[in-house]
Chains A and B, each alone.
Chain A
């Protein structure tokens, strides 16, 4: 596998479920990101990890919980979500988290909350 992979690609969950999204990058990068993409809205940065340390939490509700066990893997743990959380969740990585670093995105997980 090359680039940034995300699993699952599609997820349907009830409001009381607990699920996790997984992201893996094979690029040797040190920074990883979670974004939320909703139709006709800008990509919303949720979390940033640099060298496994969380450096950004963009006022994300606590029902979203990130985890970065190493610089190649990033998880987003989900619990008691709301229907308005339905969206495409994108993971990205960049070499060192710098302002001009190119961010490489995975294909996303399409999440539907019933």
Chain B
């Protein structure tokens, strides 16, 4: 079964707007939550990651919010730019899984000029 559920499947946002992507998980052993960004014709690349000991992590215009009790985490893209148009994948893994990432199904983000 899908261990990480991601929504929405796609979203369109105007330049300067906020993009929000949500992920939920069931496995309480998960303790590492990365987000990967994939442009057409390229492989995914790590964007930002969080551990459950913090509730928020910010890197530039990208912020992860983490809610351990709800088993949910989300990616916020502030001041979205056309160059942010890509597919975003959330993922999760546990310390004993040795790099075995469980990915969400992806969200295609389109930022209109």
In the assembled complex, which residues on chain B have CB atoms less than 8 Å from the CB atom of A101? 99
State A33–B43 Cα separation when bound (angstroms).
Answer: 13
In the assembled complex, which residues on chain A have CB atoms less than 8 Å from the CB atom of B98? 48, 50, 55, 97-99
State A111–B102 Cα separation when bound (angstroms).
Answer: 23
State A56–B51 Cα separation when bound (angstroms).
Answer: 24
Nearest B residue to A33 by beta-carbon distance? B99
Complex contact B93–A99 (CB within 8 A): yes
Q: Which of B11-19, B66-74, B78-86, B103-111 contacts A (4 or more CB under 8 A)?
A: B103-111
Nearest A residue to B45 by beta-carbon distance? A105
State A106–B96 Cα separation when bound (angstroms).
Answer: 25
Which of B32, B42, B43, B89 touches A92 (beta carbons < 8 Å)?
B43
Q: Determine how close the nearest CB of chain B comes to the CB of A32; give it in whole angstroms.
A: 10
Which of A40, A55, A103, A106 touches B101 (beta carbons < 8 Å)?
A103
Complex contact A90–B43 (CB within 8 A): yes
State A97–B106 Cα separation when bound (angstroms).
Answer: 23
For chain A, give the interface size range: 20 to 34
State A98–B31 Cα separation when bound (angstroms).
Answer: 12
Which of A50, A99, A108 touches B95 (beta carbons < 8 Å)?
A99
B 1-33 to A, binary, CB cutoff 8 A, 1 in contact else 0: 010101001000000000000000000000110
State A31–B93 Cα separation when bound (angstroms).
Answer: 16
State A50–B97 Cα separation when bound (angstroms).
Answer: 13
Complex contact B105–A100 (CB within 8 A): no
Which of A40, A90, A99, A108 touches B99 (beta carbons < 8 Å)?
A99
Complex contact B100–A48 (CB within 8 A): yes
Which of B4, B34, B96 touches A42 (beta carbons < 8 Å)?
B4
Nearest A residue to B102 by beta-carbon distance? A42
A-B contact pairs, 25 of them (CB 8 A): A41-B105, A42-B6, A42-B103, A42-B105, A43-B89, A43-B103, A48-B98, A48-B99, A48-B100, A50-B98, A56-B100, A92-B43, A94-B99, A97-B98, A97-B99, A99-B93, A99-B94, A99-B98, A99-B99, A100-B51, A100-B93, A102-B46, A103-B99, A105-B36, A105-B44
